[in-house]
Amino acid sequence: MNGPKKIALVTGGYSGEAVISYKSATTIFNHLDKSKYNVYVIDVTKDGWYYKADNGELFAVDKNDFSISVNNHKVTFDCVFIGMHGTPGEDGKLQGYFDVLGLPYTSCNAATSAITFNKRYTVAVAAFAGINVAKSVHLFKQQPFDINQFNLKLPVFVKPNNGGSSIGMSKVSKTEDIAVAIEKAFAEDNQVLVEEMITGREFTIGVFKHKGEIVAMPMTEVKAHADMEFFDFIAKYQGKSTEITPAEASDEMYKKVSDTAKKVYAVFNCSGVIRIDFIYNEERNEPFMLEINTIPGQSDASIVPQQVKAMGWKLEDFYASLIEEALADAAVK
């Protein structure tokens, strides 16, 4: 009889989002069934990749085969559970490395991760597939631009093109404020997206694959508090928003958002769990896709764990499903 599978829970990262990665990893670790899985938390930082033992001792990862040696015993892994937001765990870099090694992992593949980490390329692919998106302009730090040539209706959102968590994002209602907002976004990234604001209700929905079938979770409505302009980093992680799960919405709204979410998952060839943000424009009676998060937060405050519970699932069963799906996918490659 085979023993528990060895799972590397990869967390940390090279960006400011590492602090959120550790929170997600704590939730994931606490809800991985230890009778099925031996879980090793691997901290990936710019200073090195390490497994930290219970006694605090650090063991360096051998990057040649992503193994560790603990007390002269070599440990290799059956699957990698990626609990890392930002680079290199959300933008395809780690995924490409694991692909080269032939190691199964729980997230989207390298190409999908890289595309969806770039907000502009994400909406371009979605629009090509007939999915509603906002009109936008893509700016590069090294290239000159003329604000008067944007041809966008105010208000607009100005945001770093890469990454999540809304860091460096601004809502701009006056033309004279756009330059400062662009400068703020360029402080976070060398590409910036200036996007027309779609008015409507904000919904966010988790989607995953279970036994080969694409499943849309019960969606959440996100309402930023009156003192918050939009659902930014502070609103998201410091309780400045109200999240209603499942959202109070009509059957038609639910169907349109869920169907579009499943279409997005298929179009982008996603794997694991993703979370998609939408604005539902009631004038058009259509959802508009804002962005795709391929490593959605799993901390206590995060939306996907709320949606898992609203489905009537336990997090233990959900995380096990992600691992088993990754192993099944790897078996047919």
Q: Is 90 annotated as a binding residue?
A: no
Whether residue 165 lies in the annotated active site: yes
Give the integer Cα–Cα distance in Å for 311 and 191. 37
Q: Is 277 annotated as a binding residue?
A: yes
Q: Which of 15, 136, 271, 302 is catalytic?
A: 302
Write the secondary structure of the chain as one string of H (helix), E (strand) and C (coil): CCCCEEEEEEEECCCCCHHHHHHHHHHHHHCCCCCCEEEEEEEEECCEEEEECCCCCEEEEECCCCEEEECCEEECCCEEEECCCCCCCCCCHHHHHHHHHCCCECCCCHHHHHHHHEHHHHHHHHHHCCCCECCEEEEECCCCCCHHHCCCCCCEEEEECECCCCCCCEEECCHHHHHHHHHHHHCCCCEEEEEECCCCEEEEEEEEEECCEEEECCCEEEEECCCCCCCCHHHHHCCCEEEECCCCCCHHHHHHHHHHHHHHHHHCCCCCCEEEEEEEECCCCEEEEEEEECCCCCCCCCHHHHHHHHCCCCHHHHHHHHHHHHHHHHHHC
Whether residue 17 lies in the annotated active site: yes
User: Among 221, 214, 318, 197, which Cα is nearest to 268's?
Assistant: 214
Whether residue 136 lies in the annotated active site: no
Give the integer Cα–Cα distance in Å for 31 and 53. 19
Q: Rounded to an integer, what is the distance from CA 164 to the centroid of its chain?
A: 7
Q: Is 293 annotated as a binding residue?
A: yes
- Residue set of the binding site: 277, 291, 293
- Residue set of the binding site for Mg(2+): 277, 291, 293
Active site (catalytic) residues: 17, 165, 302
